[in-house]
Every structure is written in structure tokens, then in C-alpha cells.
Structure 1
Amino acid sequence: MFKIAGHTMGTPEYTVCEAIELMKKIGADGIEIVVQDDYRSGIPCDCDQETLEKVKECAEKMGIRIVALTPYNSYFNSLDEEKRQEEMAAIRKGVDYCEFLGASYVRIYGGNLSAGDTYKLEERWDMLVRSLREMGDYAKEKNVTLVVENHFNTMAVSAKKSAELMKAVDHPAVAILYDQANLTFTENEDYQTAIATQQKYVAYMHVKDLVFVEGKSFVSSNVARPNEDERNVKTRIVGEGVVPWPEILSKVKEQGYDGWLSLEYERRWHPDDIPDASIGMKKSLEYLKSIME
């Protein structure tokens, strides 16, 4: 049976400990925590031991599993060696946090590749493969898996590219984070094709929902999120948009997946689209549970 986590992207009004308490209240099994400076519902990139201990104690008290950490580094394909090493050092630090907190996954971007960028693609691909192997070696020592998200403006923008990347990396501690909503609004694979193409490499899943804005095509100027004037979709409570979650969950279960579903409730980026997590994430979780039942 799938386990459900809430993502602190969805809880910008809450501290991490308050978000953990909310997960307990709404019936989640776990939590995915942002790693980024100056975000109320995240832990800082250079997190001190006292903060880590407080978060761990809160999770243990609430009976909530800290499942994954989500940093925002992306230049693993950089040809600037100093920059590449700096980005990998940040991920290794995140892996150390995972080891202490008992988390199993670190969310990874598949490099940084703006739309239309064709500069030395082969060399940057090779550098990304090299980086993922090097970071994977460190993660494996700590019993942590790096999960590369299907994500725009990266070298893992589609299920096809993500699967190709996994074949090239070929590392036991590097896997795919399946995000069908991202594949949908970037006009990549439908769920049937995505699952057939990449599911054997999937170790973790994000769940969110959306509706399209009529007359707009996908574009984004950065990796983390499209600017407000670029958006071709509006985010929605899961079950109230166009992503066919009953069919997706049935299909991945057929393929043997019974891991975590992380509710990447995007209130941090789009607070006008969806209500507070105590309302919308709760409704999303209840919808997922109704599917599983």
C-alpha cells in the first residue's frame, strides 16, 4: 500500500515543526522538507545540529516519517568545475542531514538547462552523469537515494530523457522521481507512455494537480518555477484538476510500485490558486486515500 507524505512547499505559513504537526493532524504518514535559506517551512542549507535535533524530535513525537529532503541546487552539469563541486558539496550535506533525520531520499534536479539552450550539450550531459555517479557513491554509503525529478529546464525534462539518464548513470543510489503533473504541463509524455518508459527506474513520486490556461503554451525562465506571467496552468487540489490520478496509481501499482506519494501542494508558489494546507492538502490526501481504498 502506498504511503502519503506532505511537502513543505505546501506549508509556507508554517514552521517545519508546525508542518510536521499538521501532517499528523490531517492523517499523513510522512513529510518532505525543503532545504533552502530564508524559507519559513524549510531547513537552511547550512543547518546547525540544534535545528536538526529539534526537527527530528518533533517528527518522532508526532509519529511522522521524514521521507525526503528537497534542496534547490541544479548546476551538476556545469562545465565550471568550481561551480559543479560547490553544488555537489551542498547535496552531500543534504545527504548527511538525511542520515541524521532518517530520511531515505534527496530530490535532485537533472542539471540546469534553459529552454532553447544548445551550448555544449553532449559535454554537459557527460558532466551530469559524472556528477550523479559521484554524488551517488556518497549517498550509497549513507543509505540514501538521490531521486532525479521529471522537471522542466533540466536534462530530465521528459520520461524519455530521464530514462536515458538513468541508463547512462547506472548507479544503485540514483533513481527517478516521477512527476506526471510536470510532464503534463510541459507537454511531454502522457501517463501511459511515461510509466512504460521510465517506471522501472522510479523510486519516489510527487502528486499534484492542475488545469490549463486556455491559449497559453509552456515556457519558463528558470528551473524552480515559471514566472507568474509565463504560467500555462493553474494549480489545484488533487482530484480537482486534469491529472488522472486513479489511472496513474493503478498503473504504477501494476508495475510493482508501492512506495511514497508526496503531495507537492504548490501553495508556496501559487497561494492565490489553492487554500491553506490544512484545507487543501487535507482534501488532497483524503482523495488519494479514497482511490487506494
Structure 2
Amino acid sequence: MQLSLSGFLFEDKYQSQSLDFPSFCALARSAGYDGVELRRTQVNLQTSANQRRQLRIQVKNHGLKVTCLTARGMPAAGTERDAFLLDYLDLCRDMGCSLIKIGGDPEWLRWAAEQGERVGVTLASNNHLNGPLETVAGTRTHLAAVAHANYGLLYDSMHLNLTGQDYVGCIPEFYPATRNILVQSLRPARGGESPLLERDGRSWVKDRIDAEGVQTWPAILRTYRNLGYDGLITVIENGWPVEQREQVARHCAAVLHSLWEEE
């Protein structure tokens, strides 16, 4: 297992970070993470070459690596989208990162995967509500349509669960394509709780990774591990109150290490 912490946990409204970068790296290292996933609010195409070098040095000095970059803000189509991707591949090079979280239509993603392959960067998309990968069937169809070895899946059980999918049963099918296991947890709301999300007549709230009613993380990790998975697992929790975020990062790391090491 390569455990990674995403800056998403400390992101406010997709605009800023509540934790400065040195503190983010220090927290990740002290909590037992091996790497960090960086958000656009931490590094992006406008980040200067010198700033990129300084960020990468800070990551390295904490004994970490950059595990993934998230390509938010990409143009929808055309030459602008192509240029955006190529610039992001340069950003990956500068940050020592070999994985991009990205989306798009299958034909373009196939082309993008070819560009990434030339420079050693893998592309992958995540399961997400209202997207082509929100269901098991949709994920199957999408991966088959892209059909490129350098394009894969960021497996997200939370989004699959929200659409009533068999998120554990599908793992053997999607294991070969899995490039990262994303960790965030919701459970059905109880009486009096204000829902974070409502979907198909059900209300959902955030809770800890080991809380009753969230996805069955022991089964998820056991299934992947038994299949031979030993890759990225990234905590992408988000939306927590500022004062709880550090504890969420530490608790997730502790639980994930414990579950992964179970016989």
C-alpha cells in the first residue's frame, strides 16, 4: 500500500487551503502517509518554475512524493484542451508526479493517454455522481470505450454506494484498471441530522472511516489486497470543519494502516 493524503481535505470551496504547504507536508509525514495528492489550490499551471522547485523540495524533505495531480479547470474541447493537457504533463514532470486525475470523452482520453505514455504519466478518472463512471455499468462502458493501457480508474466506493451499486462485488472486474483507491465516507442520515447530500430519496452525512453505516472499508481493502493490489490509496475526505481536519487525516491513516495489515 502507498498511502497518500489529498489537499482536498484542507480545501475551502475549491478556492483556497486552510493549511499552509509546509504544515500539510509535515502532517502527512507524521501521520504515516507516503505521499501527497496536490490540488489546483496548491500547485497549478500558473505556479512559476521556481515555486514548483520549492514545493517539490518541501515534499522530498518530508520523505514524501507527489502521487497525483488533479487537472481541474480544463477547457471542454478543442486545441485549448490539448494545450492544457500538455502543460499539465509538464507540471507533472516538474513535480515528479506520474498520475493525473482527469476527465473527458473517450476518444480524446485515448489521445491524452498516448501523450501521457510518452512521458511516463498515467491518466485516470474517478467514479462520480452524474458522470460516465457513476455506476458499475457506466464504468465498464467508459473504460472499454477508452481502451488504452495508460488510462485507468480511480476507484471511489462512496460515489458507487450513492447510486446503489455493488461496490465490493465489482472490484475483481475493475482491479486491473485501478490506479488509485479513493477514501471518503458517507452514511445514511439519522433523525434530526442535516444532510450533506440527498439522492434518490435518501439523505447522507459525513462520518469517520470506521463509523457504522459508511462503506464497508474492511471488505473493500481485503478484496483489493487479496487480488494483489499494492498501489495507491488516497484519503480525499473533504468538507470537514477546519478544526477537525487534522484529526480526520490522522484517524484515516491509522485505520487504513490497521485494515491493510490485518491477516
TM-score by length of structure 2 reads 0.86
Equivalent position of 2:30 in the other structure: 25
Alignment of 1:222-261 (within 5 A): 232-240=203-211, 241-261=213-233
2:56 partner letter = K
Task: Say which is worse superposed, 53-62 or 6-15, in terms of deviation.
Answer: 6-15
Whether 1:203 and 2:155 are equivalent positions in the alignment is: no
Measured after TM superposition, the shift of residue 90 of structure 1 is 2.2
2:28 partner letter = M
1:260 partner letter = L
Q: Distance in 2 between matches of 1:101 and 1:44?
A: 11
Q: For structure 2, which runs of at least 5 residues remain unmatched after alignment?
A: 11-16
Measured after TM superposition, the shift of residue 95 of structure 1 is 1.9
Secondary structure (helix, strand or coil) at the match of 1:43 reads coil
Equivalent position of 2:153 in the other structure: 176
Q: Distance in 2 between matches of 1:45 and 1:166?
A: 28
Measured after TM superposition, the shift of residue 55 of structure 1 is 0.8
Q: Distance in 2 between matches of 1:158 and 1:73?
A: 24
Measured after TM superposition, the shift of residue 255 of structure 1 is 2.0
Whether 1:218 and 2:195 are equivalent positions in the alignment is: no
Equivalent position of 2:80 in the other structure: 86
1:271 partner letter = W
TM-score by length of structure 1 reads 0.78
Measured after TM superposition, the shift of residue 275 of structure 1 is 4.6
Equivalent residue pairs, number: 249
Instruction: Decide which of 99, 103, 115 is 1:105's aligned counterpart.
Output: 99
Q: Distance in 1 between matches of 2:159 and 2:75?
A: 20
Percent identical across equivalent pairs?
20
Q: Distance in 1 between matches of 2:182 and 2:243?
A: 19
Contact 1:148/1:175, CA 8 A, preserved across alignment: yes
Contact 1:73/1:90, CA 8 A, preserved across alignment: no
Measured after TM superposition, the shift of residue 138 of structure 1 is 1.1
Measured after TM superposition, the shift of residue 265 of structure 1 is 1.5
Measured after TM superposition, the shift of residue 180 of structure 1 is 0.5
Contact 1:8/1:16, CA 8 A, preserved across alignment: no
Equivalent position of 1:271 in the other structure: 240
1:283 partner letter = H
1:149 partner letter = N
Deviations 1:22-60 (A, max 9, x none): 11121211100012xxx3xx2133221011101110011
Alpha carbons of structure 1 residues 159 and 89: separation in structure 2 relative to 1, 3 Å: farther
Q: Distance in 2 between matches of 1:255 and 1:94?
A: 32
1:183 partner letter = L
Measured after TM superposition, the shift of residue 284 of structure 1 is 0.9
